[in-house]
Each structure stands twice: as C-alpha cells, then as structure tokens.
C-alpha cells in the first residue's frame, strides 16, 4: 500500500497530530529516501518497514488503519 503525506501529517504523536516536516526530511535523507517524492507521490509501506525504524512502522500501521476505516465507510 502507499503511505501518503496525509497519513504523515495526521498520525497521532507525542506532540499532538502529525510528524514534523523538518525532522521527516532529515529522517528520509538518513535512510537514502527522497522526502519530496514522498510528499508528492507517497511511498510503498514495504520501503518504510524495510528501514526497521519504529516510527516508520507506526506510520505504516496508522496508514493501514486509515485505509481500513475509509474502506468500511464505503
């Protein structure tokens, strides 16, 4: 599934809602991923999970929950 920037900006987090854009860009760079491409097109959940990062796993979990909720609505 594709994890989108909408998922990124709406995930419940310690600071409220959404992950920080600046820190996200740093995180993507550390993992050799293109943050701008993510913002524009999203990213495959398997790519995020392959990083082994807990925050990435939580984002994938959130995206899947959002999509399941959307599907349940019709």
pTM: 0.91
Question: What pLDDT, in 10s, does the model give residues 46-58?
Answer: 999 999 999 999 9
Give the whole-angstrom CA distance, residue 26 versus residue 16.
Answer: 20
Nearest to 3 by CA among 53, 32, 36, 41: 41
Residue 24 is given by DSSP the state: H
Tokens of residue 47, six digits? 């790519």
Rounded to whole angstroms, what are the CA distances from 35 to 9, 24, 42, 69, 72? 13, 7, 9, 26, 30
Name residues of the chain where pLDDT drops below 70.
Answer: 74
Six-digit token pair at 32?
């050799």
């Amino acid at each position: 599934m594709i994890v989108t920037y909408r998922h990124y900006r709406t995930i419940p987090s310690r600071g409220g809602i959404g992950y920080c854009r600046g820190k996200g860009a740093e995180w993507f760079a550390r993992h050799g991923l293109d943050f701008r491409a993510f913002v524009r097109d999203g990213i495959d959940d398997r790519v995020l999970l392959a990083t082994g990062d807990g925050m990435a796993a939580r984002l994938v979990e959130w995206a899947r929950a959002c999509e399941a909720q959307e599907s349940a609505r019709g």
